[in-house]
Amino acid sequence: MTVAIDRTTPRERVPSPPARLSLTPTSSVPGLLDGAWWPRSRDLLRELPALTDVLDARWGRITRVSVNPAHWPVIPRKVPATGHTVNVGWFTDEQDPHKLILLSYTTGRWDLLVIPPETSAAAAARLMAAAATVGSLLTASSLMANETATRAARADLSREEEWETDGGPPQWRPETEPDRTPELHRTPELHRTPELQGR
């Protein structure tokens, strides 16, 4: 995917729908992720303000966000949020392509799994629950790989059930199977000799 870096600074915030988010409960057991975010598009300028609105109130003002450009076609340098501007950076090799890193000067850092916008609601629900598991040591890419494997297994099972519902492979029926006994060894009843018929 070709990535464009947008160096212009938008003056106004782009309207965006509420963020779809699942956060790990507060715990003393650390994990690799702090939750999951399911954006509706790959437009950071539109999606980030709604996310920071939720997280500013919970974690303190989010001042910087870092992404891997693998899944974001345009990366704006700055994104207007409510009452402040969020700086956006990116890393290719150093950052998991399915992860978003958020930084707050006052509180710290959080890592979120980014669920692709085109993901089905059922798959997104599974991913959100997995990413919000306390103490989980699964990376964002591991969770996505697990979900891909789960989807493939469900598709295989669905095809198998459909096969069985449709009758499966043709069933062998003795009455429809042709008689493969060679003609030379068959003795019709009418042609038996009287001596043989009595036995």
- Count, in order, helices (H) and strands (E) of the chain: 4, 9
CA triplet 9, 85, 48: central angle to 5 degrees? Answer: 90
What is d(CA 84, CA 99) in angstroms, rounded to the nearest whole number? 23
Strand partners, 64: 87, 103
How big is the chain by its Cα radius of gyration, in Å? 31
Instruction: Give the pLDDT of the chain (199 residues) as one tens digit per residue.
Output: 566 666 666 666 667 789 999 999 988 888 999 999 999 999 999 999 999 999 998 888 999 999 999 999 999 999 999 999 999 999 999 999 999 999 998 789 999 999 999 999 999 999 999 999 999 999 999 999 999 998 888 777 767 776 666 665 555 555 555 555 555 444 444 444 455 455 4
pTM assigned to the model? 0.73
Q: Would you state the pLDDT for residue 186?
A: 47
| Closest by CA position to 4, among listed 73, 94, 85 | 73
State pLDDT tens for residues 8-18.
666 666 677 89
Q: Would you state the pLDDT for residue 155?
A: 76
Are 64 and 76 spatial neighbours (Cβ–Cβ below 8 Å)? no
What is 83-126 written as a DSSP string? TEEEEEEE-SSSS-TTEEEEEETTTEEEEEEE--TT--HHHHHH
